[in-house]
Amino acid sequence: MKQEENSEAWSKYKIILGGFLIHCTLGSIYCFSNISVYVISYMKIIGCSNVTYKDSSWIYVLTLIFQCFFGFFGGILNQNLGPQISVLLGGWLMCLGILLSYFTVFNFYLFLMTYGILCGIGCGIAYPIPLSVAVKKHYDHKGVISGIIFLGRGLAVFIICPMQNYFINKYNYMPDYSPEFESTEEKYFSNLDILNKVPYLFIYEGIFFAIIQFIGACLISDTNDSSKEFMAYNDKSSKLLYCENKSFTYKNNGITNSFRTLSNTSNFSFRESNSTFINRDFILIWLMVFFNWQAISYTQIFWKIFGLNYLYIDDRSLSLMGAVSSLFNIFGRLFWGFISDLTSFKTALILMSMLMSFLTVTLTLSARAFSSIINAMISAHYARAGLLRKKKIKKMKRVNKLLSEKKHEQIIKIMNIVKKNMNEMNKNMNEMNKNMNEMKKSMNEMNKNMNKINGVKKNIAEGAFQFFH
């Protein structure tokens, strides 16, 4: 009996572990902003392309768009093929896109096809399956379970970003190339030791993620329980939305997924109607998530580009900041999972939206402070740290300004000295030219006298000749 209970407990918790591992690999798409500076530099230097840093947003946006659209197909594949095959299909399709990026990284549009579209499709297919399987097993704790599984996405950034930085830019070089024909302050990496490592990064990542996804898929494989035991419901109206092959009795306090409130009196077999998805609550939730993701996407795309090119923060420090922010992302997922379980999904989403709005306004008011970007990515707890960081940045700017003013004064002083020396040289040259003219005049007089002497000699010679003849 105890063995059966332990086996049943392991069958439930291994699904959570498998989903966690799967989402650790899927979260690698959020690490693209960490390597976007190297990818764009590779395209510009090696591929001789005209791309700039702003073009990197298309790669990330396409990945998210195709991930969203193909999440629907992930649910269909899960029903027909089961979670194990569906997760492997989606995950390995994402890994295939990463591996093919080894061959396409030199060209922006080909890279869009492999890393943007193909990775997005694979990630979208695999994205909902671990969560749906785990929630079916732990429906009464769906908020915490989803938080634990999504924790893998934040942990991926925490682990992968420093590893990417160490592999590509081990000695922490700064971008050093600024195109002369482009009117921009952007700088790119031109060190071939760095750029030549970029394609190999995709090979190592693709193979490593494929192995992790295989392990995760084995852990979330089907159990003895039917996958049709899951039932969703509307918290507000207490109406049943989805049910198959189960026996239920409607209770006055609403239908729930707890078997203590159900009795075997009648059978139901139906699905939700189309009108379920077209209602006021769905539209409001969709709009809230849509507008929240505008701020999130902006910081995820440009945080490193902004830090390198405008605040001159070194690459290693930026990767460390990204890793630290991902830790708060991890704790935030667990925190909001508990809030969702204690209150409701709607309350948690409203609180998150209010917090994100406040931090986004803070971000726009202090756009020159890189730490404010981190604030928008983590929590209000770091607002004070952001102000301290802002003060440090302002202090550094004042120091740089003073240094630049001193350098400017020194340059002007040197230029004046050079100008004075040039004037003296010109004066000396004029004197030399004057002396040369005098020498030339003397030479002309000497030539004239020599001509006179030659004429006298000639006259003497002619007179002597006539005298003797």
pLDDT score of 209: 94
pLDDT score of 13: 77
Yes or no: is domain 7-230+274-378 CATH 1.20.1250.20?
Answer: yes
**Alpha helices by DSSP H, 366-382:** 370-377
How much is the pTM? 0.61
User: Are the beta carbons of 58 and 116 closer than 8 angstroms?
Assistant: yes
- Residue type present at position 451: N
Q: Quick check: 97 pLDDT over 90?
A: yes
CA atoms of 394 and 169, how far apart (whole Å): 28
Return the percentage of the chain with pLDDT > 70, whole number. Answer: 65
CA atoms of 115 and 97, how far apart (whole Å): 5
Top mean-pLDDT range of 89-93, 180-184, 268-272, 335-339: 89-93
Average confidence (pLDDT) over 434-459: 80
CA atoms of 24 and 94, how far apart (whole Å): 13
Q: Quick check: 152 pLDDT over 90?
A: no
Tokens representing residue 205 in the block: 């990542």
pLDDT score of 342: 84
- Residue 214: pLDDT band by 50, 70, 90 thresholds? very high
pLDDT score of 2: 57
Average confidence (pLDDT) over 95-111: 93
User: What digits encode the pLDDT tens for the residues 236-289?
Assistant: 443 444 444 444 434 444 444 444 444 343 444 444 444 445 677 777 777 777
Average confidence (pLDDT) over 311-335: 72
Specify the higher pLDDT residue, 35 or 154: 35
Listed range (94-98, 254-258, 315-319, 443-447) with the worst mean pLDDT: 254-258
Q: How many CA atoms lie within 13 A of 467 on its CB side?
A: 6
Q: What is the DSSP string of 240-283?
A: B--EEEEE----TT---S-GGG--TT-EEEE---GGGGSSHHHH
Average confidence (pLDDT) over 51-69: 85
Listed range (139-153, 234-248, 403-417) with the worst mean pLDDT: 234-248
CA atoms of 43 and 28, how far apart (whole Å): 21
CA atoms of 202 and 94, how far apart (whole Å): 11
pLDDT score of 453: 80
Average confidence (pLDDT) over 372-394: 39
CA atoms of 304 and 397, how far apart (whole Å): 19
* Angle, vertex CA 309, rays to CA 63 and CA 320, nearest 5: 70
Closest to 33 in 3D by CA, of 291, 292, 308, 289: 308
CA atoms of 58 and 119, how far apart (whole Å): 14
